[in-house]
Amino acid sequence: MSVIAEGKLKLLDAALKLIPRSRSLTSLGLRELAREAGLNPNTFYRHFSGIEDFGLFVLEHVAKEVKQQVRLLRKTAASQGQATQDTVGFVFGYFLKNPAVVHVALQELHGASPRLRQAMRDQLDASAREMAEDVMERGLAPGLAPDAVHEISRNTIRHVLMRGFDYIECPAQRDAIQAETERFILRQFVGAIAEQEAPDIMARLQQRG
């Protein structure tokens, strides 16, 4: 036991292959999947009760892979002094090699299945927590309240995911997108620190609320 059946893996691969075309995962046809996997449609039922069940399985698999990448990223970042642009570059590079990750994430995050949405949210929150920890441990945001770091991390994760989509889609603008994303991240941290420590700037914007 504990070894995953061949057909189950084939269905997973088929899904990852089909997602860039059809997006939503929940809208993937069961027969379509089986066809792509070279299996009989009924094999699907040997492993999953329905499409949503299958979706959770796919999500779980993707999440595992992403976590592994994050761990790798943190390791290399800890050894050498890693800059924001290197990190963003690493992530976008990963997205480019695994577009299905981005597609499925964005799709299910706003998709029709509440269970898949929740699973995606949980996954993104976990990534955000990991990022926040990393930022704090490495002292990258000196003097910033932990709550603020967590909030910024959550915003950043989502934003990077969205821009990752653009990055995949618009090859001609990749440098610009990466630069914008880096500015975005930096601005959030700078803004949060200035909120605490530069009352003059805050005073000037006060009329906005």
Which positions touch DNA (CB under 7 A)?
A: 5-8, 29-32, 35, 39-47, 50-51
Which does residue 32 bind out of its own copies, DNA, none, counting CB within 5 to 8 angstroms by kind?
DNA
Q: How far is the CB of 179 from DNA (least distance, A)?
A: 42
CA angle 51, 53, 59 (to 5 degrees): 100
Q: Which of residues 130-189 bind its own copies (CB under 8 A)?
A: 140-142, 151-152, 155, 158-159, 162, 165, 169, 180, 182-184, 186-189
Whole-number Å distance between alpha carbons of 17 and 36 = 8
CA angle 24, 25, 27 (to 5 degrees): 70
Q: How far is the CB of 135 from its own copies (least distance, A)?
A: 9
Alpha-helix residue ranges (DSSP H) falling in the chain: 6-22, 30-37, 43-47, 51-79, 84-97, 99-109, 114-137, 146-169, 174-197, 199-205
Q: Which of residues 61-100 bind its own copies (CB under 8 A)?
A: 81, 83-86
Q: Which is nearer to DNA, 30 or 140 (CB)?
A: 30
Q: Choose which of 27, 40, 42, 68 interacts with its own copies (CB under 8 A).
A: 27
